[in-house]
């Protein structure tokens, strides 16, 4: 690799109360796959947003292809040859793939030509995608392909990907990596952010490690173990989860022949879902997101009432109780979508603690808010779950993705639930914090609570769950003990749909 | 070229500054308008903003200030609660009429009996009249998903026809020599809503407005119900997760704003206006929407905005009288206020950046 494509020196960006990037410098060569590593809130997203012209640096210099580079907005960055795929997709569900791609272009060619080019690129890079399909019908991985193809149409020199794999199945990850390697071989540099260290070890040529906004190390990921990488990120050692000392007790939660129509036009229906859950037990529900995971959480949390007799807690039918009545009985939930569902972006962390905390915590007196108590509760969550933020007065949307996730999980765990349902609990959370979250779920179970973990991450489920089942197209397989479960059996449970079977094998 | 950049958190500074800026910009643009119409702009602005408070005849106008501001604040306080939740009651004018009709009907049915219970009964009837009129769009929205904006607005015209029918029919004064309009409640002691302190313009409706300001402030800032209303406006899914039932929210917000508008109508018909006529309503219900936004949907802001709006009403009347400005010009002037407010409002959520756009 000769010369550098992108060179960054002394890049600094401060937000109120935090310096998100502090004198950051590194180089990316053409054709290099370069990883940005760091804990939640280390400043990775802020850094790439500056490169993509979304955030203006306070100080520092960038050089791109040997020329000074100061993108005022994403359009300027794109014109210079920088493209970015965001973690959250900006696609219109009701439009088809080609229309969505056209909407993102400054001068879209005629639809026919565009569809042709999409087809050409998608075959050239091994990203199967039909331009005529409606986006609402696509899986998360396919949606991401739309975003990637949208980038590739601009023939970028540098492609930035911020946590691209957290929503993908293992098989989709393989396809993505294949494409990225091909792109790199053709000379496109890739700046890659992920918390999945094994992926980084297999994909990336170099890595820059950020901590507290500063570059603390750079290394060649292949030459380090995942554990070493994680320790470079936190600057110390971190503990593995400990699942010792759990005995399951009596049945707490029972779901019986639960059927539900789809919530949205493109959503799946729940079909005949039945399972039961004992005290002290962790039930892992695997499967690709979008197969009824959100729907299942909504019916358990009480956001969507279900038919009489379908959900019961301690033998009491709670199917028609709302979220707060269920909280009172000890059934708590943490949805996967952090902004706008689990938390309100524009409200402070104190107010977000009030959002679900009033039933089990004395945050109100005769309906009047006790702001002091709410602030103390928020501070307790921040402290207990190591949420990196200047304080509880900060708006939820100013937190980094992983830190808000820690806050959301912490808020529910600290309310001592009897049953806790979490969906993608470590989505976007760094390795050390993910271990801490998993440990807190295990501790909860050790204290006698029942925990349901809905996750796409099979390793995570194998690590903490006592029993495992899979949710596929709204159907739930029979739960089986995780101990002694082979990958082959898991693959069969996942039902073969979406190619999960091969992937799991 | 100017580009807009979204602020990570809305600016507190600008949320307090924009109303002041909007008033100043309205004065400037209004001045230009008045000078095009051939009037001295400085004189016109002085007549509108200064004379009602501190001019030679201010003693009379100061009383008018509370009389006009009272209903505006009372209605806007209720509307703001719904607006915060994203529930758009545009029909306060109709609820105001129905409250006045309900209150006056109770009084006229009791006439000429005198009782201490009559006025409280009228208060209840007024609130109920407005509440029912507000609940119609609420129930239709909950049951059939109709737009509360359209239904509440259409019901204004229904209410207006009701008013005309009542003024010419059942509520007509039998001793009124055939003139349309009801008996004058100012001459019916038990039903009269009098000026409480001579010369201040303070009547029970103004008291109610102050109570409403304090109550909605406490509700929105200190009570869990107000918190949930705010969450519902910000993030509907999070609100459902927090246990808010959308149907209850719609009924609460439309019911509350309807009841407060009905009260405003009742206090008006039993006080400053005195009688039901076919032209009883004076647009308070619509102006209150402006007041609610001018006050940033915040109770204290609404108090100030209501006073300011009342001032432009009185000042506008004076400018018509003394300078011969056309009514339309005054209305344009009032419209400018909302226009500039919403325009400058951008600054609370966005930062302006001057610079070259690419191409
Ligand atoms: N718009 C903003 N306003 C205020 N603070 C912000 C804003 N965006 C980011 N921050 C802060 O800057 C720091 C870095 O955030 P950033 O999103 O870059 O982290 P990250 O490394 O991407 O973390 P994660 O892995 O959790 O996504 C955090 O402390 C965050 O709270
Ligand atoms: Mg990030």
Query: Does ligand 1 lie within 6 Å of residue A389's CB atom?
Result: yes
- Please state the atom number of ligand 1 nearest to the C-alpha of residue A42: 21
The count of other CB atoms within 10 Å of the CB of residue A227 is 13
Element (H, E) at B15: helix B12-36
Q: What is the dihedral of CA A310, A315, A318, A319, to 10 degrees?
A: 10
Distance CA A8, CA A27 (A): 6
Nearest CA to B285 out of B135, B157, B156 is that of B156
Give burial (CB, 10 Å; 0-12/13-18/19+) of A247.
exposed
Nearest CA to A408 out of B227, B241, B228, B7 is that of B241
Residue A241, pLDDT above cutoff 90 = no
Interface mutation target, options B219, B229, B232, B235, chain A, most CBs of A under 10 Å = B235
> B320 near B331, Cβ under 8 Å?
no
Nearest CA to B229 out of B214, B215, B212, B246 is that of B246
Of A324, A335, A395, the CB nearest to B9: A395
> B254 near B147, Cβ under 8 Å?
no
Chain A positions touching B237 (Cβ under 8 A) are 337, 340-341
- DSSP-assigned letters across all residues of B29-67: HHHHHHHHTTS-HHHHHIIIIIHHHHSTTHHHHHHHHHH
Nearest CA to A438 out of A284, A294, A249, A308 is that of A284
Distance CA B72, CA B80 (A): 12
pLDDT band at B355 (very low <50, low <70, confident <90, very high): low
Distance CA B223, CA A273 (A): 39
Query: Does ligand 1 lie within 6 Å of residue A20's CB atom?
Result: yes
Supply the pLDDT for residue B359.
32
Tokens 């010419």 locate to B168
Domain identity same for A222 and A255: no
| Cβ separation B234–A367 shorter than 8 A | no
Query: Euclidean distance between the first and final Cα of chain B, in Å?
Result: 10
Strand partners, A9: A61
Helix (H), strand (E), coil (C) string for A127-171: CCCCCCCEHHHCCHHHHHHHHHHHHHCCCCCEEEEECCCCCCCHH
Closest CA of chain A from B245, distance in Å:
9
* B237–chain A Cβ distance below 8 A for any pair: yes
* A347–chain B Cβ distance below 8 A for any pair: yes
Query: Is A239 a domain residue?
Result: no
pLDDT higher at B262 or B42:
B262
> A115 near A98, Cβ under 8 Å?
yes
* B358–chain A Cβ distance below 8 A for any pair: yes
| Cβ separation A368–B225 shorter than 8 A | no
Tokens 């313009």 locate to B201
> A356 near A412, Cβ under 8 Å?
yes
Query: Does ligand 1 lie within 6 Å of residue A44's CB atom?
Result: yes
Distance CA B129, CA A142 (A): 56
* A14–chain B Cβ distance below 8 A for any pair: no
Average pLDDT, chain B: 89
Distance CA B266, CA B257 (A): 14
> B265 near B163, Cβ under 8 Å?
no
Supply the pLDDT for residue A499.
39
Give burial (CB, 10 Å; 0-12/13-18/19+) of A160.
buried
Domain identity same for A25 and A155: yes
Percent of chain B predicted with pLDDT > 90: 57
Supply the pLDDT for residue B356.
47
* B10–chain A Cβ distance below 8 A for any pair: yes
A337 CA distance to ligand 1 middle (Å) = 17
Supply the pLDDT for residue A128.
80
| Cβ separation B9–A398 shorter than 8 A | yes
Give burial (CB, 10 Å; 0-12/13-18/19+) of A258.
buried
Supply the pLDDT for residue B124.
97
The count of other CB atoms within 10 Å of the CB of residue A420 is 26
Residues contacting B279, CB < 8 A, separation 6+:
none
Domain identity same for A297 and A160: no
* A299–chain B Cβ distance below 8 A for any pair: no
Chain A positions touching B10 (Cβ under 8 A) are 346
pLDDT band at B154 (very low <50, low <70, confident <90, very high): very high
Query: Is A503 a domain residue?
Result: no
**How many angstroms separate the most distant Cα atoms in chain B?**
79
Q: Is A272 helix (H, G, I), strand (E, B) or coil?
A: strand
Query: Is A319 a domain residue?
Result: yes
* Poorest-pLDDT segment among A268-277, A370-379, B15-24: B15-24
Domain count for chain A, please give it. 2
Query: Is A501 a domain residue?
Result: no
With CA atoms as reference, the chain B residue closest to A78 would be B358
The count of other CB atoms within 10 Å of the CB of residue A116 is 14
Residue B357, pLDDT above cutoff 60 = no
Query: Does ligand 1 lie within 6 Å of residue A38's CB atom?
Result: yes
Domain end point (choices A182, A205, A234)? A234
Domain end point (choices A183, A204, A234)? A234
Which residues of chain B does CATH 1.10.3470 include?
A: 49-324
**A36 CB-side CA count, 13 A:** 31
- A312: its two tokens: 């019961």
Q: Is the dihedral of CA A32, A229, A399, A291 positive or negative?
A: positive
Q: What is the pTM of this model?
A: 0.83
Rg (CA), chain B: 22
Supply the pLDDT for residue A495.
65
Domain identity same for A254 and A222: no
Ranges A74-83, A98-107, A415-424, A458-467, most confident: A415-424
Quote the distance between the C-alpha of residue A300 and its chain's center.
Answer: 21
| Cβ separation A341–B241 shorter than 8 A | yes
pLDDT band at A497 (very low <50, low <70, confident <90, very high): very low
Helix (H), strand (E), coil (C) string for A347-391: CEHHHHHHHHHCCCCCCEECCEECHHHHHHHHHHHHHHCCCCCCC
pLDDT band at B70 (very low <50, low <70, confident <90, very high): very high
With CA atoms as reference, the chain A residue closest to B245 would be A322
Closest CA of chain B from A226, distance in Å:
34
Nearest CA to A492 out of A482, A481, A477 is that of A477
pLDDT higher at A87 or A462:
A462
Of B227, B231, B355, the CB nearest to A369: B227
Distance CA A433, CA A234 (A): 10
* B235–chain A Cβ distance below 8 A for any pair: yes
Residue A403, pLDDT above cutoff 60 = yes
Distance CA A304, CA B241 (A): 10
Supply the pLDDT for residue A301.
95
Tokens 């993705």 locate to A401
CATH 3.60.21 assigned to domain B49-324? The reply is no
* B3–chain A Cβ distance below 8 A for any pair: yes
Choosing from A192, A398, A401 the residue with most ligand 1 atoms within 8 A of its CB, the one to mutate for a pocket test is A398
Domain identity same for A31 and A158: yes
Give the CATH number for residue A145: 3.40.50.300
Q: Is the dihedral of CA A488, A490, A491, A493 positive or negative?
A: positive
Domain identity same for A175 and A275: no
Residue A406, pLDDT above cutoff 90 = yes
Supply the pLDDT for residue A63.
94
Average pLDDT over residues A203-208: 93
Name the DSSP letter for residue B77: H
Residues B326-345 pLDDT 10s:
888 888 888 888 788 878 87
| Cβ separation A355–B240 shorter than 8 A | no
In order of A172, A281, B336, the CA distances from A245 in angstroms are 37, 11, 70
| Cβ separation B223–A368 shorter than 8 A | yes
A217 CA distance to ligand 2 middle (Å) = 19
Q: Do you find a cis peptide bond into B112, omega within 30 degrees of 0?
A: yes
Query: Does ligand 1 lie within 6 Å of residue A221's CB atom?
Result: no
pLDDT band at B179 (very low <50, low <70, confident <90, very high): confident
Query: Does ligand 1 lie within 6 Å of residue A387's CB atom?
Result: no
| Cβ separation B224–A364 shorter than 8 A | yes
Residues B73-127 pLDDT 10s:
999 999 999 999 999 999 999 999 999 999 999 999 998 889 999 999 999 999 9
Nearest CA to A258 out of A317, A343, A206 is that of A317
B9 CA distance to ligand 1 middle (Å) = 14
Domain identity same for A318 and A204: no
Q: Parallel, antiparallel, or unpaired: how do β-strands A6-15 and A59-64 relate?
A: antiparallel
* Poorest-pLDDT segment among A37-41, A172-176, B25-29: A172-176
pLDDT higher at A456 or A453:
A453
Query: Is A240 a domain residue?
Result: no
Average pLDDT, chain A: 88
Domain that holds residue A14: 6-234
Average pLDDT over residues A404-408: 94
Name the DSSP letter for residue A65: T
Chain B positions touching A365 (Cβ under 8 A) are none
Q: Is A27 helix (H, G, I), strand (E, B) or coil?
A: strand
Query: Is A424 a domain residue?
Result: yes
Closest CA of chain B from A327, distance in Å:
10
B192 CA distance to ligand 2 middle (Å) = 65
Residue nearest to atom 16 of ligand 1 (CA): A43
Domain identity same for A221 and A256: no
Closest CA of chain A from B8, distance in Å:
7
Average pLDDT over residues B165-171: 91
Residue A479, pLDDT above cutoff 70 = yes
Domain identity same for A267 and A303: yes
Residue nearest to atom 2 of ligand 1 (CA): A398
Q: What is the dihedral of CA A243, A449, A357, A365, to 10 degrees?
A: -130
Choosing from A400, A404, A429 the residue with most ligand 1 atoms within 8 A of its CB, the one to mutate for a pocket test is A400
Supply the pLDDT for residue A500.
38
Query: Is A1 a domain residue?
Result: no
B131 CA distance to ligand 1 middle (Å) = 47
Distance CA A253, CA A302 (A): 14
Q: What is the dihedral of CA B24, B25, B31, B36, to 10 degrees?
A: 180
Backbone angles phi, psi at B170, to 5 degrees: -60, -30
Question: How many helices and strands, by DSSP H and E, does chain A display?
Answer: 17, 23
Of A72, A327, A342, the CB nearest to B355: A72
Give burial (CB, 10 Å; 0-12/13-18/19+) of A68.
exposed
Query: Does ligand 1 lie within 6 Å of residue A404's CB atom?
Result: no
Ligand nearest to the CA of A401: 1
Residue A18, pLDDT above cutoff 60 = yes
Supply the pLDDT for residue A501.
37
Tokens 């039993």 locate to B270
Residue nearest to atom 28 of ligand 1 (CA): A41
| Cβ separation B243–A343 shorter than 8 A | no
Domain identity same for A68 and A112: yes
Query: Does ligand 1 lie within 6 Å of residue A268's CB atom?
Result: no
Vertex B73: Cα angle to B72 and B78 (nearest 5): 105
Supply the pLDDT for residue A496.
45
A45 CA distance to ligand 1 middle (Å) = 7
* Poorest-pLDDT segment among A274-288, A490-504, B209-223: A490-504
Query: Does ligand 1 lie within 6 Å of residue A402's CB atom?
Result: yes
Query: Is A241 a domain residue?
Result: no
Strand partners, A331: A419
Query: Does ligand 1 lie within 6 Å of residue A21's CB atom?
Result: no
Residues A169-197 pLDDT 10s:
777 888 889 999 999 999 999 999 988 88
């Amino acid at each position: 690799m000769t010369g550098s494509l992108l060179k960054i020196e002394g890049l600094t960006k401060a937000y109120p109360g935090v310096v998100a990037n502090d004198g950051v410098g590194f180089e990316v060569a053409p054709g290099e796959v370069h990883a940005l590593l760091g804990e939640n809130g280390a400043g990775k997203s802020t850094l790439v947003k500056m490169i993509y012209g979304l955030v203006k640096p306070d100080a520092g210099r960038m050089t791109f292809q040997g020329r000074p580079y100061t993108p005022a907005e994403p359009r300027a960055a794109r014109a210079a040859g920088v493209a970015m795929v965001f973690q959250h997709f900006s696609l219109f569900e009701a439009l088809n793939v080609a229309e969505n791609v056209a909407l993102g272009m400054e001068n879209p060619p005629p639809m026919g030509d565009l569809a042709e080019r999409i087809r050409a690129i998608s075959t050239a890079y091994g990203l199967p995608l039909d331009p005529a399909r409606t986006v609402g019908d696509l899986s998360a991985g396919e949606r991401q392909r739309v975003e990637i193809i949208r980038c590739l149409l601009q023939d970028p020199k540098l492609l930035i990907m911020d946590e691209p794999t957290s929503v993908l199945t293992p098989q989709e990850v393989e396809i993505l990596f294949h494409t990225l390697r091909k792109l790199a071989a053709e000379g496109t540099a890739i700046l890659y952010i992920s918390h999945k260290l094994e992926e980084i070890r297999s994909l990336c040529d170099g890595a820059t490690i950020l901590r507290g906004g500063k570059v603390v190390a750079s290394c060649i990921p292949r030459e380090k173990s995942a554990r070493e990488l994680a320790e470079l990120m936190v600057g110390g050692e971190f503990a593995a989860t400990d699942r010792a000392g759990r005995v399951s007790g009596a049945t707490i939660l029972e779901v019986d022949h639960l059927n539900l129509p789809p919530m949205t036009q493109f959503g799946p229906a729940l079909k005949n879902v039945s399972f039961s859950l004992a005290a002290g037990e962790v039930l892992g529900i695997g499967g690709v997101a979008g197969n009824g995971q959100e729907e299942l959480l909504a019916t358990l949390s009480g956001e969507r009432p279900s038919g009489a007799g379908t959900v019961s807690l301690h033998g009491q039918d709670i199917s028609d109780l709302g979220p707060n009545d269920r909280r009172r009985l000890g059934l708590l939930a943490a949805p996967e979508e952090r902004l706008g569902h689990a938390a309100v972006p524009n409200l402070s962390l104190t107010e977000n603690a009030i959002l679900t905390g009033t039933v089990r915590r004395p945050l109100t007196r005769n309906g009047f808010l006790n702001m002091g108590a709410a602030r103390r509760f928020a501070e307790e969550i921040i402290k207990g779950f190591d949420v990196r933020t200047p304080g509880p007065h900060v708006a939820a949307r100013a937190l980094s993705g992983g830190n808000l996730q820690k806050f959301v999980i912490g808020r529910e765990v600290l309310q001592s639930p009897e049953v806790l349902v979490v969906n993608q609990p470590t989505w976007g959370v760094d390795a050390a914090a993910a271990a801490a979250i998993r440990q807190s779920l295990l501790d909860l179970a050790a204290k006698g609570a029942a925990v349901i973990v809905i996750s796409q991450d099979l390793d995570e489920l194998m690590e903490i769950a006592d029993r495992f089942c899979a949710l596929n197209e709204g159907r739930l397989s029979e739960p089986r003990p995780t101990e002694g479960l082979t990958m082959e059996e898991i693959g069969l449970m996942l039902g073969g749909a979406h190619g999960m079977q091969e992937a799991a094998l | 070229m100017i580009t807009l950049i979204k602020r990570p958190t809305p600016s507190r500074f600008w949320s307090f500054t924009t109303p002041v800026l909007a008033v100043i910009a309205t004065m400037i643009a209004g001045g230009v308008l008045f000078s095009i119409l051939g009037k001295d702009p400085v004189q016109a602005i002085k007549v509108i903003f200064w004379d009602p408070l501190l001019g030679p005849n201010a003693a009379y106008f100061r009383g008018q200030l509370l009389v006009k501001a009272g209903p505006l604040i009372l209605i806007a306080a209720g509307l703001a609660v719904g607006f915060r939740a994203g529930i758009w009651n545009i029909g306060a004018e109709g609820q105001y009429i129905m409250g006045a009709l309900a209150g006056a009907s109770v009084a006229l049915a009791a006439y000429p009996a005198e009782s201490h219970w009559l006025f409280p009964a009228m208060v209840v009837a007024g609130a109920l009249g407005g509440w029912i009129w507000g609940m119609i769009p609420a129930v239709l929205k909950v049951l059939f998903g109709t737009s509360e904006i359209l239904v509440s607005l259409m019901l204004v015209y229904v209410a207006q026809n009701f008013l005309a029918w009542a003024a010419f029919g059942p509520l007509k004064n039998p001793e009124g020599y055939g003139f349309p309009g009801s008996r004058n409640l100012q001459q019916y002691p038990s039903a009269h809503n009098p000026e409480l302190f001579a010369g201040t313009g303070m009547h029970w409706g103004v008291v109610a407005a102050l109570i409403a300001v304090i109550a909605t402030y406490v509700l929105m800032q200190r009570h869990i119900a107000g918190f949930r209303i705010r969450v519902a406006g910000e993030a509907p899914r999070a609100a459902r997760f927090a246990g808010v039932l959308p149907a209850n929210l719609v009924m609460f917000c439309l019911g509350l704003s309807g009841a407060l508008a009905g009260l405003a109508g009742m206090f008006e018909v039993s006080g400053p206006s005195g009688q039901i006529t076919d032209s009883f309503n004076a647009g308070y219900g619509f102006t209150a929407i402006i007041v609610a936004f001018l006050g940033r949907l915040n109770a204290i802001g609404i108090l100030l905005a209501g006073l300011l709006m009342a001032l432009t009403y009185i000042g506008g009347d004076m400018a018509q009288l003394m300078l011969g400005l056309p009514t339309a010009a005054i209305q344009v002037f009032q419209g400018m206020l909302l226009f500039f407010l919403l325009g400058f409002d951008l600054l609370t959520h966005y930062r302006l950046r001057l610079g070259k756009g690419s191409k």
